[in-house]
Amino acid sequence: MKLKSFATAAAIAAGITAIAIGLAGPAAADPSAVTTLAGAGSDTTQDVLNAIATNIGPSTGTKLVGSWDATPVHTDITPKSTAACTNITRPNGSGEGVNALRRSLSATSTAAGLTHPVPLGSGCFDFARSSSGPGANQSNTGLLSYVPFALDSVTVAVGPAAGTNVTNINGSFTEAQLQALYSAGTPQVATDGVTYDPNTADGTTGTPIHLLIPQAGSGTRNFFAGVVGINATTPPAWVKDTFIPSAGGSAQSVEEHDGTAVQLDHNAIAPFSVAQWISQARGHNDRRHEAVLQAIGGVNPCTPTASACSSTSTLNESFPSDFLREVYNVIPFSATTSGNLFNVFVSTTAPQRLCSRTTIITDYGFGLLTSAPKGHTCGQVSTDLRGFTTL
């Protein structure tokens, strides 16, 4: 069953919800001034971190935390008021954010740089946002700690069912079917009884389906690739991180949690953060562009599960487990016992602690880690979440 959005009823309910829980307002975007701590990286968590950053630390003077957006892609930013940190290229996604942090911390870092790279050992960034864990870089003695702070899930999205940009994908899939589509390019029969073929050039009869993933370096790309069984760096030929609009034109990059691709390519399907979709539906940096979230294996990604995802929905924590994930802030392991980074991201008692901002976290669509649904609680420092033995 494909989820469809409500119209007037949802708008009225959204207004009631806003009054009831005191929405934090639109995303704050880039810091307006230099801050004590600076971070960048994941698109998934940029909006909630922006909102939290404005609510912690001193009410006047230099703010404690500055969270720099992932977009506009690769424009220049100045996260610290030093010559080395002036007009460096904005990190876009978890991978680039972590690389920027590694370069900031080490004069001998081997992390890749961008057009105007973070100078080695410059201290331009103090933390990185990441929507995936350390992965292949995990080490119990790693120099970086991935500190969890919220629960998210990832499903797939298609275009709208009505209007100008009607999707041609009218059924949904199971987890096994998504794995077969992405990893093997094998046609699958969806819940609408239609066979969808990701590789129409092979002569198989079926409705074309264009399998998309976000841009390289995206934490969501890495996470979703792991779930569906493909290599995030070198995906199969039938999996693309660019799309061509159904009306024609040149290829465009697929930006994570931006519905432009599925809106303009009527045969496209792409992963989308459920927390981001809910957050955007509530007016926080809305870039859904008519993207509609799909069920997986008949399980809807939002609660209440009998309804379409809307601005009044919450994350369904009973969604298929493989699609649930923790999201993180990455800091030096050496900073996990004291200091500003400890107070913000780890401490259970400091007034600046991020984990106490539960209303903001849930308002931006995320779930809480109070019961450790994926193995960790908010702010937990764990050896299995350490990465990079060299920076």
pLDDT in tens, 96-119: 999 999 999 999 999 999 999 999
48: closest CA among 144, 131, 156, 137? 131
Q: Can you give the pLDDT at residue 204?
A: 67
- CA 113 – CA 121 distance, rounded (Å): 13
Tell me the whole-structure pTM to 2 decimals: 0.89
- Find the mean pLDDT for residues 301-321: 94
Tokens of 221: 């790309």
Q: Give me the pLDDT at residue 25, please.
A: 40
* pLDDT computed for residue 24 by the predictor: 39
Q: Name the segment(s) of the chain with CATH classification 3.40.190.10.
A: 153-323
Confidence grade of residue 20 (pLDDT, cut at 50, 70, 90):
very low
User: Which pLDDT band holds residue 203 (cuts at 50, 70, 90)?
Assistant: low
**In whole numbers, what is the pLDDT of the chain averaged over residues?**
91
**Residue 201: band (very low, low, confident or very high) from pLDDT cuts 50, 70, 90:** low
Prior bond of 304 cis (ω within 30°): yes
What is the rounded distance in angstroms from the CA atom of residue 289 to the CA atom of residue 60? 37
pLDDT at 11: 36
Task: For residue 365, give both structure tokens.
Answer: 């669509």
Burial state string for 44-66 with b = 16 or more CB within 10 A and e = fewer than 16: bbbbbbbbbbbbbbeeeeebbbb
Could you give the CA distance from residue 283 to residue 279 in angstroms, rounded to a whole number?
A: 7
Of the candidates 64, 88, 68, the one whose C-alpha atom is nearest the C-alpha of residue 78 is 88
Query: What was the pLDDT predicted at 15?
Result: 38
Q: What is the pLDDT of residues 255-280, one digit of tens each?
A: 999 999 999 999 999 999 999 999 99
Tell me which of 191 and 19 has the higher pLDDT: 191
Q: Facing residues of 147 across strands?
A: 329
CATH value of 153-323 in 3.40.640.10, 3.40.190.10, 3.40.50.720, 3.40.1280.10: 3.40.190.10
Q: Residue 61 — pLDDT band, cuts 50, 70, 90?
A: confident
Residue type, 329: N
